[in-house]
């Protein structure tokens, strides 16, 4: 229900407002950027009152503080137009100005304040909390440069800074909230005197829920100098040095650490983590005090969610405030802290579990190290300290009321592996909340054709009640055809875009096979490209053998220091060059690596995909969320029993899912076999031949052994079991060919994937957190 107090302009009023903005703010210019900014200004004028009235409605209600180092929100204009029902009006104004809405939307820079799944999950959660009526503030950092922009030169990754803020960001409001955050210094008798203070200045991005039903806030902290300009120093002739404190403060929020699933391990990173944690706690405690509420009632008014261990220092910081500022006893403080803190774990990869040397932590945050040592003393079995390091996962677990994993399998593995000891001590603490994605952006926004077909079949209302997709069953023949027609149109559109922007001609009738995600050995893009090479080799052997045409699409960023991942990108590029120019295979096989994968590129690719590649080594991908987006857009998954793939397969049905590979259990026992890779390669001549092509200069004649490193890894240690899973992957891929050759059969399976993916809405996930972790009921309409 739209709030009665909220007014969304009529189409005519919207048009008039945009034209007025264009003339008043942009001198009547009608270029893409001016129109985009004029439209954003008008939308902001609609959103801000919606936001304010929602804040009033939520006042006094228990709320969530979602602490996350990453929020990968992408572009906002399209989402806002859709939510407010102004998309058609905006299309019309743009046409009147001689532009298309798509072109206008595309000049908005992506706000890429995140690396991958974890940051995008936080963005989906903001949308869902605002939609289901869960009062929330998402607390994050206002990085000047988000994730780097990836270029491809000579088929290799290049990195340049992304500047989403340089032309002003129309969706934010500089808030009245700001706090001084201390660092370094000394502690005497439990009193911390920091030697450096940096100002945390809040910037609010209003987050309107669907159709203005409710709203939330994304509050991003910017680092500013307490005193930015030293006039004395300037007058003394030190013109540059006069701004030094300003420069050093601003360095704190300069960049997002570009790591996904690997530990950053830098002092500046810890500084960022503390800055986020301390500013956010100061903010929510200020609200609590301003409401005149006693500190003991904090758990009745706020639930703090730690998104991974990145903000785990919030635990000791809360203890510090409660003990040092509020005068609570240690035990009482711990009880209170555990009443508000909860922790979401997103990975079991040992190299990704944060730990900080005690020396470093004690230097930057001396009082916090003392408190951590007290915590470790009070909970000797918790494993908070080890090897002179503070283990942040154990710390977060020890201080949390609830700890959750992000898929059923991941949660079970948490109990058996990283947190086995802690789980035995606290068997009620770990719960599962399987991830989800917002269907507003990931169906209606990116795939309007599919949304139209669904609405035609089952009526309105499903976008906020996604389980209603189930009403598509039993499938009516007209519905399956309509969805297949939408898919075909999306593929034609993508093919045109690939031709225009990448210079690659692809056949829209081919199977569009897509793997888009961060590049990582455990995600196994190298398994995919090796299968591609083997397929190419077989096609060349027998071009007339009735192959199903394929377009292999890859995109993803590699962490700048992750050499192996960069080699995988390089290899994909070289294979693409060779294959795409091969007259023998021609339209049978095309390979594309698209640069600068981001939210907007995902929105373009997912609606046009036939096959979704979810091929991580079982036990390694905590959940995955791209897997859900593909399924709800009618792609079939080829995947392992890993993360949420397991639950996707259970729901869409085994006969509509291309399963392959070892289970997590089989992976562990297989790894224990000496020569597991060599044995697998010996048994699979196709793989041996594909690996040979990496060593003999097939793809780079001037430098024949360039990719020998990848071949050696797969042949030797092969920690991620590429060799051992190859044969079954090949089998599943040929099964995919057979299924695809039966167009009607495929269309039905695709439609069933859509009809059965309603459970993967992040609205369901958020309701789960509200009920099982936060103890929050929705604010009524």
Site for ligand Z16 in 637-696 (CB under 6 A): 643
Helix and strand counts by DSSP (H, E) for the chain: 32, 24
Which residues in 394-547 belong to E strands, given as ranges? 402-405, 430-432, 511-516
C-alpha torsion sign, points 161, 166, 168, 173: positive
Please tell me the distance from the alpha carbon of residue 212 to that of residue 440, in angstroms, as a whole number: 13
The verdict on whether 271 is a catalytic residue reads: no
For 126, 173, 216, 218, the CA distances from 134, given in Å and listed in that order, are 9, 22, 8, 14
The verdict on whether 517 is a catalytic residue reads: yes
**Going residue by residue from 266 to 305, which x/- string records binding to ligand Z16, judged by CB under 6 A?**
----------------------------------------
Q: How far is the CB of 621 from ligand Z16 (least distance, A)?
A: 5
Tell me how far apart the terminal alpha carbons of the chain are, to the nearest angstrom. Answer: 7
Residue 661 is inside which H or E element, if any?
none
Please tell me the distance from the alpha carbon of residue 432 to that of residue 435, in angstroms, as a whole number: 9
- Parallel, antiparallel or unpaired: strands 173-183 and 196-208: antiparallel
Q: How far is the CB of 121 from ligand Z16 (least distance, A)?
A: 4
DSSP structure class, residue 110: P
Q: Which is nearer to ligand Z16, 211 or 411 (CB)?
A: 411
Burial of 655 (0-12, 13-18, 19+ CB in 10 A): exposed
Give the one residue of 38, 65, 121, 779 binding ligand Z16; rule: CB under 6 A. 121
Q: Say which of 552, 620, 629, 686 is annotated catalytic.
A: 629
User: CA-CA-CA-CA torsion for 150, 106, 103, 14, nearest 10 degrees?
Assistant: -170
Please tell me the distance from the alpha carbon of residue 730 to that of residue 169, in angstroms, as a whole number: 47
Q: How far is the CB of 413 from ligand Z16 (least distance, A)?
A: 12
Residue 411 contacts ligand Z16 per CB under 6 A? no
Q: How far is the CB of 666 from ligand Z16 (least distance, A)?
A: 20
Q: Which is nearer to ligand Z16, 113 or 527 (CB)?
A: 113
Residue with tokens 């394929």: 550
Q: Which is nearer to ligand Z16, 84 or 615 (CB)?
A: 615
Please tell me the distance from the alpha carbon of residue 195 to that of residue 197, in angstroms, as a whole number: 7
Alpha helices in 166-254, H assignment, sequence order: 231-235, 244-251
Residue with tokens 């701004």: 243
Q: Please provide the DSSP assignment of 264-276 as one string.
A: ---HHHHHHHHHH
Please tell me the distance from the alpha carbon of residue 582 to that of residue 313, in angstroms, as a whole number: 55
Q: How far is the CB of 51 from ligand Z16 (least distance, A)?
A: 26
Q: How far is the CB of 156 from ligand Z16 (least distance, A)?
A: 23
Q: Please provide the DSSP assignment of 285-300 as one string.
A: HHHHHHTT--GGGHHH
Q: Say which of 57, 271, 523, 550 is annotated catalytic.
A: 523
3-state secondary structure of 543: coil
Give the one residue of 311, 624, 758, 768 binding ligand Z16; rule: CB under 6 A. 624
Please tell me the distance from the alpha carbon of residue 479 to that of residue 481, in angstroms, as a whole number: 5
Residue 622 contacts ligand Z16 per CB under 6 A? yes
Q: How many CB atoms lie within 10 A of CB 16?
A: 14
Q: How far is the CB of 64 from ligand Z16 (least distance, A)?
A: 17
Q: Which is nearer to ligand Z16, 603 or 621 (CB)?
A: 621
User: Which range, of 23-31, 237-245, 619-627, 754-762, touches ligand Z16 by CB under 6 A?
Assistant: 619-627
Q: Which is nearer to ligand Z16, 51 or 630 (CB)?
A: 630
Give the one residue of 406, 480, 632, 736 binding ligand Z16; rule: CB under 6 A. 406
Residue 580 contacts ligand Z16 per CB under 6 A? no
The answer to whether 311 and 275 are in contact (CB under 8 A) is no
Single out the residue of 668, 628, 568, 597 nearest to residue 753, CA to CA. Answer: 628
Site for ligand Z16 in 324-383 (CB under 6 A): 346-347, 352
Q: Which is nearer to ligand Z16, 261 or 315 (CB)?
A: 261
Residue 261 contacts ligand Z16 per CB under 6 A? yes
CA 510 from centroid of its chain's CA atoms: 29
Please tell me the distance from the alpha carbon of residue 610 to that of residue 507, in angstroms, as a whole number: 13
Residue 418 contacts ligand Z16 per CB under 6 A? no
Q: Say which of 518, 651, 749, 756 is annotated catalytic.
A: 518
Give the one residue of 80, 623, 753, 761 binding ligand Z16; rule: CB under 6 A. 623
Single out the residue of 381, 382, 392 nearest to residue 313, CA to CA. Answer: 392
Q: Which is nearer to ligand Z16, 533 or 770 (CB)?
A: 770
Q: How far is the CB of 141 from ligand Z16 (least distance, A)?
A: 14
Number of residues interacting with ligand Z16: please give it, by CB under 6 A: 19
3-state secondary structure of 255: strand
Q: How far is the CB of 643 from ligand Z16 (least distance, A)?
A: 5
User: Which range, of 43-51, 333-341, 483-491, 621-629, touches ligand Z16 by CB under 6 A?
Assistant: 621-629
Tell me whether the omega of the peptide bond preceding residue 320 falls within 30 degrees of 0, making it cis: no
Q: Which is nearer to ligand Z16, 497 or 522 (CB)?
A: 522
Cβ neighbours of residue 559 closer than 8 Å, sequence gap 6 or more: 258, 259, 260, 262, 518, 565
User: CA-CA-CA-CA torsion for 105, 110, 111, 115, nearest 10 degrees?
Assistant: 150
Residue 618 contacts ligand Z16 per CB under 6 A? no
Residue 621 contacts ligand Z16 per CB under 6 A? yes
3-state secondary structure of 741: helix
The answer to whether 521 and 565 are in contact (CB under 8 A) is yes
Q: How far is the CB of 311 from ligand Z16 (least distance, A)?
A: 13
Residue 433 contacts ligand Z16 per CB under 6 A? no
Residue 757 contacts ligand Z16 per CB under 6 A? no
The answer to whether 251 and 196 are in contact (CB under 8 A) is no
Residue 115 contacts ligand Z16 per CB under 6 A? yes
Give the one residue of 78, 109, 116, 206 binding ligand Z16; rule: CB under 6 A. 116
Q: Say which of 36, 320, 367, 517 is annotated catalytic.
A: 517
Q: Which is nearer to ligand Z16, 423 or 518 (CB)?
A: 518
Contacts by 711-720, CB closer than 8 A, 24 or more apart: 713/564, 714/526, 714/530, 714/677, 714/681, 715/677, 715/678, 715/681, 715/691, 716/677, 717/677, 718/676, 718/677, 719/521, 719/671, 720/521, 720/522, 720/524, 720/617, 720/620
Residue 409 contacts ligand Z16 per CB under 6 A? no
Q: Which is nearer to ligand Z16, 118 or 270 (CB)?
A: 118
Q: How far is the CB of 602 from ligand Z16 (least distance, A)?
A: 14
Residue 435 contacts ligand Z16 per CB under 6 A? yes
Q: How far is the CB of 430 from ligand Z16 (least distance, A)?
A: 15
Q: Which is nearer to ligand Z16, 116 or 133 (CB)?
A: 116
**Going residue by residue from 63 to 102, which x/- string records binding to ligand Z16, judged by CB under 6 A?**
----------------------------------------
Q: How far is the CB of 354 from ligand Z16 (least distance, A)?
A: 9
Q: Which residue is nearest to ligand Z16 (CB)?
A: 117
Q: Which is nearer to ligand Z16, 128 or 435 (CB)?
A: 435
Residue 308 contacts ligand Z16 per CB under 6 A? yes
Q: Say which of 36, 142, 338, 346 is annotated catalytic.
A: 346
Residue 437 contacts ligand Z16 per CB under 6 A? no
CA angle 594/596/597 to nearest 5° reads: 75
Residue 32 is inside which H or E element, if any?
helix 32-58
Give the one residue of 625, 633, 724, 733 binding ligand Z16; rule: CB under 6 A. 625
The verdict on whether 756 is a catalytic residue reads: no
Residue 528 contacts ligand Z16 per CB under 6 A? no
Q: Which is nearer to ligand Z16, 150 or 623 (CB)?
A: 623
Please tell me the distance from the alpha carbon of residue 683 to that of residue 677, in angstroms, as a whole number: 10
Burial of 27 (0-12, 13-18, 19+ CB in 10 A): exposed
Active site residues: 346, 517-518, 523, 625, 629
Q: Which positions touch ligand Z16 (CB under 6 A)?
A: 115-118, 121, 260-261, 308, 346-347, 352, 406, 435, 621-625, 643
């Amino acid at each position: 229900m739209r709030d009665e107090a909220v007014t969304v302009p009529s189409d005519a009023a919207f048009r008039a407002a945009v034209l007025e903005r264009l003339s008043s703010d942009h001198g009547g210019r009608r270029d893409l950027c001016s129109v985009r900014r004029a439209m954003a200004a008008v939308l902001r004028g609609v959103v801000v009152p919606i936001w304010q009235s929602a804040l009033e409605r939520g006042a006094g209600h228990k709320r969530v503080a979602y602490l996350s180092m990453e929020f990968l929100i992408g572009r906002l204009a399209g989402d806002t137009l859709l939510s407010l029902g102004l998309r058609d009006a905006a299309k019309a104004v743009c046409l009147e100005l001689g532009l298309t809405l798509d072109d206008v939307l595309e000049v908005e820079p992506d706000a890429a304040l995140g690396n991958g799944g974890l940051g995008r999950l936080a963005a989906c959660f903001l949308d869902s909390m605002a939609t289901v009526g869960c009062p929330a503030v998402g607390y994050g950092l206002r990085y000047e440069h988000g994730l780097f922009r990836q270029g491809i030169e000579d088929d290799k990754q290049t990195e340049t800074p992304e500047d989403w803020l340089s032309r002003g960001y129309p969706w934010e409001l500089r808030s009245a909230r700001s706090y001084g955050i201390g660092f370094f210094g000394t502690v005497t008798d439990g009193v911390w005197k920091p030697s450096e203070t940096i100002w945390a200045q809040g910037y609010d991005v209003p987050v309107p829920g669907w159709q203005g039903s409710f709203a939330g806030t994304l509050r991003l902290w910017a680092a500013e100098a307490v005193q930015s300009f030293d006039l004395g120093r300037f007058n003394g002739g030190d013109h540059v040095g006069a701004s030094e404190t300003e420069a050093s403060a601003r360095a704190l929020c300069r960049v997002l650490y570009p790591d996904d699933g690997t530990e950053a391990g830098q002092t500046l990173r810890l500084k960022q983590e503390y800055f986020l944690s301390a500013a956010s706690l100061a903010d929510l405690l200020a609200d609590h005090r301003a409401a005149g509420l006693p500190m003991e009632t904090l758990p009745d008014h706020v639930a703090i969610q730690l998104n991974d261990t990145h903000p785990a220092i919030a635990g000791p910081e809360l203890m510090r405030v409660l003990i040092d500022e509020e005068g609570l006893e240690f035990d009482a403080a711990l009880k209170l802290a555990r009443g508000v803190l909860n922790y979401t774990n997103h990975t079991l990869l040992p190299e990704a579990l944060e730990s900080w040397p005690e020396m470093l932590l004690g230097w930057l945050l001396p009082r916090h190290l003392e408190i951590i040592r007290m915590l470790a003393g009070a909970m000797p079995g918790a494993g908070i300290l080890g090897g002179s390091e503070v283990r942040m996962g154990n710390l977060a677990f020890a201080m949390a009321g609830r700890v959750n994993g992000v898929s059923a399998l991941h949660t079970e593995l948490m109990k058996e592996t990283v947190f086995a000891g802690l789980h035995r001590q606290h068997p009620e603490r770990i719960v599962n909340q399987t991830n989800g994605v917002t269907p507003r952006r990931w169906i209606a926004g990116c795939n309007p054709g599919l949304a139209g077909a669904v609405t035609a079949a089952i009526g309105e209302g499903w976008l906020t009640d996604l389980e209603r997709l189930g009403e598509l069953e039993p499938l009516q023949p007209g519905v399956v055809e309509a969805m297949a027609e939408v898919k075909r149109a999306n593929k034609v559109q993508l093919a045109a875009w690939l031709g225009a922007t990448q210079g690659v001609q692809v056949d829209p009738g081919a199977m569009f096979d897509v793997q888009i995600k961060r590049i990582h050995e455990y995600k196994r893009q190298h398994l995919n490209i090796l299968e591609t090479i083997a397929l190419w080799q077989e096609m060349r052997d027998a071009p007339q053998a009735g192959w199903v045409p394929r377009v292999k699409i890859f995109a993803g960023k590699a962490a700048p220091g992750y050499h192996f991942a960069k080699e995988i990108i390089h290899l994909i590029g070289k294979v693409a060059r060779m294959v795409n120019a091969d007259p023998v295979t021609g339209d049978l096989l095309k390979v594309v690596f698209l640069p600068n994968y981001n939210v907007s590129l995902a929105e373009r690719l997912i609606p046009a995909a036939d096959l979704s590649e979810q091929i991580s080594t079982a036990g390694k991908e905590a959940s995955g969320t791209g897997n859900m987006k593909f399924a709800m857009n009618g792609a079939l998954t080829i995947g392992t029993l890993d993360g949420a793939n397991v639950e996707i397969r259970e729901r869409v049905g085994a006969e509509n899912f291309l399963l392959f590979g070892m289970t997590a259990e089989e992976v562990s026992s297989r790894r224990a076999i000496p020569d597991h890779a060599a044995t697998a390669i010996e048994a699979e001549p196709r793989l041996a031949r594909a690996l040979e092509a990496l060593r003999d200069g097939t793809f780079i004649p001037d430098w024949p052994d360039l990719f020998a490193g990848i071949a050696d890894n797969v042949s030797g240690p092969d920690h991620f079991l590429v060799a051992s899973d190859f044969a079954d992957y090949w089998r599943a891929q040929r099964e995919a060919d057979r299924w695809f050759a039966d167009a009607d059969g495929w269309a039905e399976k695709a439609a069933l994937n859509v009809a059965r993916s309603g459970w993967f809405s992040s609205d369901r996930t958020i309701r789960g957190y509200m009920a099982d972790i936060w103890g929050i009921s929705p604010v009524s309409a």
